[in-house]
Chain A
Amino acid sequence: MEASSLPAALELVSGGGAGLSPEKRAVLGSSLLLLQRDYRFERVWFWGCIQGVCGAYYIAEGLGPDRAAPRSRLYSLNCVEWSLLPPVTEEMVTQAGRLKGRFQGDPSFEYEYTERNAEDDERLFEDGKEPMIKEEARLVATIEQIDRAVGIIPRGAFVKTPLGSVSENRNFEGLSLTEAKRLSSYFHFTEPVNLKNKTLLEKADLDPSTDFLDSLEHDIPQGSWTVQLEKGGTVVVLRSLLWLGLTFYHVPMTKQYGYVYFGNGEKNLDLPFML
């Protein structure tokens, strides 16, 4: 969610019970602004909070002029001092995907592998050391996975210019109430995967400036999003069931929208059994 609209947005996503204490809210107001100044970001998003066993990580993302470019991610243990996270690599993602269990809360904690397969043994012979993965790398990989899988925006909120860069759509007035209840009005804010597979008929209806991302309709498994109207029907809240804790809110017919993650940082692999 946008750092500038943090207080109002937190009120809207609090239906799930998770939020920030007044102390954190107060300090974020100033520390996110300072982040924007120090790193020269154009926009700063408060991404959310991952609960570890001993402590919690507060994550912020900074965006440059092209909103679809890879974002810089920062973490903090107390919302006052922020550290830049290393950019994510595919290897990190695969390594982190094999780890199970909670985050510890200490960024220098090293996980030991419990499963070893032939690839690891080969690498062992080369390096001579046991492969360990630090919690920091796991954090980066998890944030990237969550953004890739369930980071969403309403349709029409961003436009793609003919030069290829993506920016906010100043003409976006918000989705109507009927549109807001449909999953097809929301897009994943990452590189599209399914766009090419659409039929020619569907592609003819698309507007290349706003429909350049995957929509939520074809997410597997079906039903992995819950759409609810909260606060007497004035806010549309989408919650992901694949990554429990990700909440997206939008007030129909206004420009307010955003998503935030409050959770453990673990994927819900039992989802097919639970639906």
Chain B
Amino acid sequence: HGPYQPHEPGYGLYQPGLSPYDDQIPDPKSRTLAIQNAKAYLLKSSTTSGLNLYDHLANMLTKILDEQPTNAVDIIENISKDVKWAHFQKKMDTLRDEHEILPTFEAAEKRKALFLKANGERDEELEEEIGETPLPNVMETAFYFEQAGIGLSKDESYHIFLALKKLISVQPIQTCRFWGKILGLEMNYIIAEVQYHEGEEEEETEEEAVPEEGGKWVDEVEDEEEEKEKEDEPPKSTYKPPPVIPKEENGTGANKYVYFVCNEPGKPWVKLPPVTPAQIVCARKIKKFFTGRLDAPVVSFPPFPGNEANYLRAQIARISAGTQISPIGFYQFAEEEDEEEEVEGGRDTYEENPDFQPLSVAEMVDSLSAWVHNVQSILKQGRCVWLNPLQKTEEEEENEEEEKAEEPDELPQELQQEIGPPLLTPLSEDEGIQNIPAWTAQPSTNLIPQYAVAVLQSNRWPGAYAFASGKKFDNIYFGWGHKYSPENHTPALPPPVQAEYPSGPEITETRDPTVEEELAFKAAKEEALAMAEEEEDEEGAEEDEEEDD
């Protein structure tokens, strides 16, 4: 009520009979009138929004009493805002929901399709599946990797499992493995490593395209040559591009396996083209994130020969060559009768060892020589087996012998044969980076050593992992697809400017003579003139003498 204490403001102002509310309070009839007036005021609708305060307060109090939040007085403004917002939601509800959730519904449809059995499956096919199937047990591998804290969630692993099953039913595949996942900017890649049945590989359509392009190009050149014959020809460039190193055959070397990728399980699998040595050499020099679209261009220097699909394939090849490992003794070389033929390229085939005795987990973790690489390493050239690009075929050699006799071959001697570490070398031979070893080995748990799993992480390719437990082992990659380097990446500098023309004495500009040289030349010339005049005089004198005589 009114101010009673002398220090309160307004004290002494109240004079009975003069206050504006004096006549309202005592009279009960006017009290109801006052209530009605107040209620009428609250029911007045707002001119801007059409709401009225009475309804709003009623709704707010209803909401508070229904929900009973703690410390409601602290969030009362937010509750008021929510109640007001709720008015508008009802009108536009159906429209908004349909637009927003559409992409998630489509994605859910695709994932659901994975779980449906294809039409026409009968019991016979089921029996076949239960027998030998190329489908890897993705969940089992995921379990072992999970013991080390690596891997995708179980949901995603199961979706990948089903997606691989779909892949196998579509393509004639002999062996299949979940290689890993590479992250990208817009989308990620899920990668499957596959080997076809022998003889069932499809011919690539790229080779068909090449002769067509070559034909067109030849036509254009002929036209240009006809035009050029009329004009003066500019000097021809003496630049010879370095010889193109041919890619390895499908099924050998870096192209031993075929890789399929998809962005998400449920989306169709796309086959990656085989990798060429030029792509590997270039991929070593650049460092780019993957966008997630296979047809995206790779803008870099040195310019990458291909698009993202080729870059992805090249990185997969490098990662596989560097980090696919197995416990020692699991694979052994097949016994060959003729060992002489294999000398140049090194052995490139192996088979499972039926007498494999697994080492204990402690041994696998302690020493790196208990593991070996089972994929050939890629040489500097970009291939696994060295090929001399300047080696001429037999026909060409014969032609040359006819044309030029006894000219020494200079170039082939410069290129030395590159030899990489042979297949099945132990990991202890891997060089580390600076003072970090190439691999870090750990058991999955120190608390339960009986059931621990030996886990290896690569330090050169962060994201590459391998596990071994008894007779089971596997490799996997989860990462961005780049090699680790403690130094910052320095892009390649552009090559030096090529000389346009050979510089010889006939086109080099001579230096302008300096003033001293000009004066000296002038003096020398005058001397010569003077000498000539003297000679003439002498001759004249001699002639006179002769005439005299």
Contact = CB atoms under 8 A, between A and B. Distances in A.
**Chain A bound to chain B:** yes
Interface of A: 11-12, 14-24, 51, 53-54, 78, 100-102, 170-171, 176-178, 223, 226, 228-229, 231-234, 239, 241, 244, 264, 269-270, 273-275
A146 to B, nearest CB: 17
B186 A226 contact: yes
A102 B187 contact: no
A275 B289 contact: yes
B288 interface: yes
A12 B156 CA distance: 10
Contact of A18 (B150, B264, B288): B150
Given A233-B103, A234-B104, A274 B289 contact: yes
**A-B residue pairs, 10 tightest by C-beta:** A17-B478, A233-B104, A232-B107, A21-B149, A270-B489, A14-B153, A171-B78, A233-B107, A11-B153, A101-B486
B463 A17 contact: yes
B411 interface: no
A14 B107 CA distance: 19
* Chain B interface size range: 35 or more
Contacts of B107: 229, 232-233
B147 A21 contact: yes
B450 interface: no
A143 B399 CA distance: 69
A87 B397 CA distance: 75
Nearest to A234: B104
A223 B104 contact: no
A16 B78 CA distance: 37
Contact of A21 (B101, B264, B445): B445
Interface in B480-513: 480, 482, 486-489, 491
Nearest to B150: A17
Given A100-B486, A226-B185, A264-B462, A22 B146 contact: yes
Interface in B506-529: none
Contacts of A54: 440
- Select the residue from A17, A100, A231, A264 with max chain B CB neighbours within 10 A: A17
Contact of B447 (A15, A17, A23, A241): A23
A12 B153 CA distance: 8
B101 A270 contact: no
Contact of A14 (B75, B151, B487): B151
B288 A274 contact: yes
B530 to A, nearest CB: 70
B147 A22 contact: yes
B169 interface: no
Nearest to A223: B185
A102 B444 contact: no
5 contacts: A15-B156, A17-B180, A78-B446, A177-B104, A232-B110
B376 interface: no
A228 B264 CA distance: 12
Given A11-B153, A170-B75, A270 B100 contact: no
Contacts of B491: 273
A223 B289 CA distance: 11
A15 B108 contact: no
A228 B107 CA distance: 13
Contact of B111 (A12, A232, A241): A232
B440 A53 contact: yes
B111 A53 contact: no
